[in-house]
């Protein structure tokens, strides 16, 4: 997964196969992962994050949503 943003222990990125889905970001730390839809930010799935940490990660995604959407468009604009 190409990482487009790192904040503390969290990494955020996209998978090339995601191009057919609406804009979203995958967040990870160690063995925990979550997927968030963008515009508006909402949780798609969660594997391993506890409720408190998940809210923290969602807050990070919300705070950086404009950047993540921009990176999504850049990442998939070159895709054929």
What does the pLDDT look like over 8-28, one tens digit per residue? 999 999 999 999 999 999 999
- The reported pLDDT for the residue numbered 79 is 52
List the chain domain ranges: 3-77
Residue 80: per-residue pLDDT: 46
Please write the tens of the pLDDT for every residue from 47-68. Answer: 999 999 999 999 999 999 999 9
Q: Is the pLDDT of residue 37 over 80?
A: yes
In this prediction, residue 1 carries a pLDDT of: 82
Write down the mean pLDDT value for the chain: 95
Q: Which residues contact 68 (CB under 8 A, 6 or more apart)?
A: 4, 5, 12, 23, 25, 38, 61
Inform me whether the pLDDT recorded for 42 exceeds 90: yes
- pLDDT of 35 reads 98
Half-sphere exposure for 58 (CA within 13 Å, toward CB): 17
């Amino acid at each position: 997964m190409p990482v487009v943003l790192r904040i503390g222990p969290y990494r955020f990125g996209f998978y090339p196969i995601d191009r057919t889905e609406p804009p979203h970001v995958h967040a990870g730390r160690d063995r925990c992962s979550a997927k968030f839809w963008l515009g508006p930010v909402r949780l798609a799935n969660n594997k391993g994050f506890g409720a408190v940490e998940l809210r923290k990660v969602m807050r990070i995604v919300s705070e950086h949503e404009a950047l993540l959407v921009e990176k999504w468009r850049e990442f998939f604009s070159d895709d054929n």
